[in-house]
Amino acid sequence: MQVYGRPVANSPPGHFPSNTSSSTSILSTHIPYQILGKTLNSSDCRVVYVARNPKDTLISLWHFENAMYLGQKSEPQPLENIVSNLCEGTVVFGPYFEHVLGYQKESLERSDKFFFITYEELKSNPITHVKRLAEFLGCPFVGEDMETQVEEVVRSCSIETLKNHEVNKSSDVPSWSMVPYDAFFRKGQVGDHMNYLIKDMIKRIDAIMRMKFHGINLWGENWM
């Protein structure tokens, strides 16, 4: 949004906060592979895809969208609605399960170009996976203080550190978004859906997970 949307507040005319002349630009997107594939395949870029358990993703999305609706002085949407949307494939950025499978398939066929990992893996062993990510991106950690470097990256990128930056505690709404800064970092906990979803909702989502992810072990034995 900041690259192709409106400029940030108080920036010079025509200015966007990206260095378009750099060959190492980073772009974050939610666009599914089914739409972005031709562009990715025609470039030399490397893709890092993080998949999160759909039940936790659903709760995160519910809070995020409610922050947007409340900013427009609307009532928060019922949780039942977004559960139905997830199961029917009508959530923002397209059907969730197909979204995950699109990038997961490419990572198996082209592991040099696509780095696929689950959020739960990152949370369980960040040191190991940050090292893997650095290797994939072609900038491995080196030197006698390598372990210290890795630990600093993990600390700096932790949910605790990010949510405590002053900008991320602000209720201001940036010019390029419809939600306040403090809506971008909430809990980041694995299994938070257990605090919100009732048994019937979980059973409905789990049934679709079994069908869509049949034979694919993304979240181990404890994914339900």
The catalytic residues are 30
State how far the alpha carbon of 131 is from the alpha carbons of 12, 126, 152, 153, 154, in Å: 38, 8, 12, 10, 10
Q: How many CA atoms lie within 13 A of 62 on its CB side?
A: 21
Interior angle at CA 59, CA 55 and CA 124, nearest 5? 60
Contacts with 164 (C-beta within 8 Å, 6 or more apart), sequence order: none
Q: Taking a C-beta distance cutoff of 8 angstroms, is the pair 115, 48 a contact? A: yes
Q: Taking a C-beta distance cutoff of 8 angstroms, is the pair 94, 102 a contact? A: no
